[in-house]
Amino acid sequence: MLPKFNALTDEQVEAIHEHSMRLLEEVGIDFLYEPALEIFRANGQRVEGDRVFLDRKFVEEQIKKAPSQFTLHARNPENNLVCGGDNIIFMPGYGVSFIYEADGSRRDSVMEDYDNFVKLAGASDNLHMTGGNIADLSDVPDEIRHLKMLYSSIKNSDKCFMGSASNRERAEDVIEMASILFGGRDAIKEKPAIICLINSITPLKFDDYMAGSLMAYAEAGQPVVIAALVMAGSTGPASIAGSLSVQNAEVLAGIALAQCVNPGTPVVYASSSAITDMKTGALSIGNPECALFTAACAQMGRHYGLPTRSGGGLTDSKVVDAQAGYESMMTLLNAGVTGINYVLHTAGILEGYMAMSYEKFVVDDEIAGMVLRYLRGIDFSEDAFAFDVIKKVGPGEHFLAQKHTRKYYPIELRDPELSDRLPHNQWANERLDTLQRAKKQWQEVLANYEPPELDPAVDEALQKFMEKRTAELKK
């Protein structure tokens, strides 16, 4: 892997830490969940109403309890993932309400879209996970969406997946379904199998849904991604340094809670922060400031010895156009070169975090493949220098017929899946642009995709659990 790019000096990293500690000690952070408040009280922290004031030494001690990396287990062990170190994990978009069609029209996302995106991620050589709440389900009742989404992730792929964090009860359902799949709660505690996204409410707050979910996953020994989404200029200061101190304080508070619940709980230090567009008041994510938040996240995570997460192929565009391309390449490549370990929203995102597109998914998958190749760097082995081959070929000749070329071509020279490299006379036969090629590609992938076989007994047990919970939740 290539060396990591650092956007901050060591002094700037320490300054962020210092200002965050002051915020936690002097301003405090709200937890709107009584069991969380009880845990902080039991650990000697000052609690006034919903406000918790966290002592610097206490926070720093809790951070040290979290592992620097962990393994996330898939039902196919070949798809297990190590989160941390030099590893990078790509997965699709998350939590969108809308789908953009190739013609630019927008509609509500439905269950079929969720299934399709899981299959596309399952078929991809560049996406390592199928994700979690890839798309909201407008055609499924809210109280059972988490069951349907998780079952789709289990049934349609044998890669790792994420679980719901919409409240504690639903988190417990996810943990139970994972237990059925992997052989019991003790099994997943020994070999973590689900990971969830916990989002603070900026500035300086965790609601009962997120705090409850965090505690449920931590108790079960499952990894948690603890993220802050600061909108610089609205929910955070317009100065990036100020917003970074708020983000850091929120993430560290969540980490402290997870470690109090279950010391050693795997956590991922995460940022989804960006800026407020001052013309509209809306969140904007396809910009260099967002990339700077990502770079800072990577360094702060390394400072604390923790795996990190950021966004990936991010754009504010509403269509799969040049803007979508240049913004997504900037943000995804930035996540790679700065050393982010866990990249949510790698593929499919349009319109901020609001929408997905099948065509954008395919474009981003191509970008992800390019980024992975770039991160692999250059082979400097003696054989790769090819001195004897160069000597044999000599001046003015070519290397096309050499064994060395046949050996290194598939290793060193990435073959694109979407990008056009045809001579003009061949391209002119169909004249397909990127959007058209992407549409053709995702349709072919879905037409030919066969989900990995799931043990019939496990499948039956999962469906019985879902039926039981659906009946209970609809009462």
User: 3-state secondary structure string, the chain?
Assistant: CCCCCCCCCHHHHHHHHHHHHHHHHHHCEEECCHHHHHHHHHCCCEEECCEEECCHHHHHHHHHHCCCEEEECCCCHHHCEEEECCCCEEEECCCECEEECCCCCEEECCHHHHHHHHHHHHHCCCCCECCCCCECCCCCCHHHHHHHHHHHHHHCCCCEEEECCCCHHHHHHHHHHHHHHHCCHHHHHHCCCEEEEEECECCCEECHHHHHHHHHHHHCCCCEEEEECCEECCCECCCHHHHHHHHHHHHHHHHHHHHHHCCCCCEEEEECCEEECCCCCCEECCCHHHHHHHHHHHHHHHHHCCCEEEECCCCCCCCCCHHHHHHHHHHHHHHHHHCCCEEEEEECEECCCCEEEHHHHHHHHHHHHHHHHHHHCCCCCHHHHCHHHHHHHCCCCCCCCCHHHHHHHHHHCCCCCCCCCCCHHHHCCCCCCHHHHHHHHHHHHHHHCCCCCCCHHHHHHHHHHHHHHHHHHCC
Q: How far apart are CA 344 and CA 351, in angstroms?
A: 16
Task: Provide, rounded to the nearest whole percent, the portion of the chain with pLDDT above 90.
Answer: 98
Q: What is the pLDDT of residues 430-464, one digit of tens each?
A: 999 999 999 999 999 999 999 999 999 999 999 99
Q: Shortest CA distance to 339 belongs to which of 161, 89, 132?
A: 89
pLDDT at residue 362 tops 90? yes
pLDDT for the residue numbered 156: 98
Burial of 375 (0-12, 13-18, 19+ CB in 10 A): middle
pLDDT at residue 1 tops 90? no
pLDDT for the residue numbered 211: 98
Q: Shortest CA distance to 44 belongs to which of 256, 248, 252, 249?
A: 256
pLDDT for the residue numbered 386: 98
pLDDT for the residue numbered 294: 98
In whole numbers, what is the pLDDT of the chain averaged over residues? 97
pLDDT for the residue numbered 255: 98
pLDDT for the residue numbered 2: 82
Buried b (16+ CB within 10 A) or exposed e, 196-206: bbbbbbbbbbb
Q: How far apart are CA 459 and CA 158, in angstroms?
A: 13
pLDDT for the residue numbered 474: 82
Residue recorded with tokens 């639903």: 170
Q: How far apart are CA 365 and CA 353, in angstroms?
A: 17
Q: How far apart are CA 119 and CA 418, in angstroms?
A: 18
Q: Shortest CA distance to 217 belongs to which of 165, 179, 253?
A: 165
Per-residue pLDDT, averaged over 92-100, amounts to: 96
pLDDT for the residue numbered 41: 98
| Amino acid present at 41 | R
pLDDT at residue 376 tops 90? yes
Domain boundaries, the chain: 63-376, 382-412
pLDDT at residue 234 tops 80? yes
165 band by pLDDT with thresholds 50, 70 and 90: confident
Q: What is the pLDDT of residues 256-266, one digit of tens each?
A: 999 999 999 99
Residue recorded with tokens 């700037």: 12
Q: Are strands 267-271 and 274-276 parallel, antiparallel or unpaired?
A: unpaired
| CATH for the 63-376 domain, from 3.40.50.720, 3.40.228.10, 3.30.420.40, 3.20.20.480 | 3.20.20.480
The two three-digit tokens of residue 220, written as one number: 């079960």
pLDDT for the residue numbered 187: 98
350 band by pLDDT with thresholds 50, 70 and 90: very high
Q: Are strands 89-92 and 342-347 parallel, antiparallel or unpaired?
A: parallel
Q: What is the pLDDT of residues 199-209, one digit of tens each?
A: 999 999 999 99
pLDDT at residue 313 tops 80? yes
The two three-digit tokens of residue 119, written as one number: 């299959």
Confidence (pTM):
0.96
pLDDT at residue 190 tops 90? yes
Strand partners, 51: 30, 48
The two three-digit tokens of residue 345, written as one number: 């929203």
Burial of 234 (0-12, 13-18, 19+ CB in 10 A): middle
Strand partners, 46: 53
301 band by pLDDT with thresholds 50, 70 and 90: very high
pLDDT for the residue numbered 475: 76
Per-residue pLDDT, averaged over 57-79, amounts to: 98
Q: What is the pLDDT of residues 386-437, one digit of tens each?
A: 999 999 999 999 999 999 999 999 999 999 999 999 999 999 999 999 999 9
pLDDT for the residue numbered 469: 96
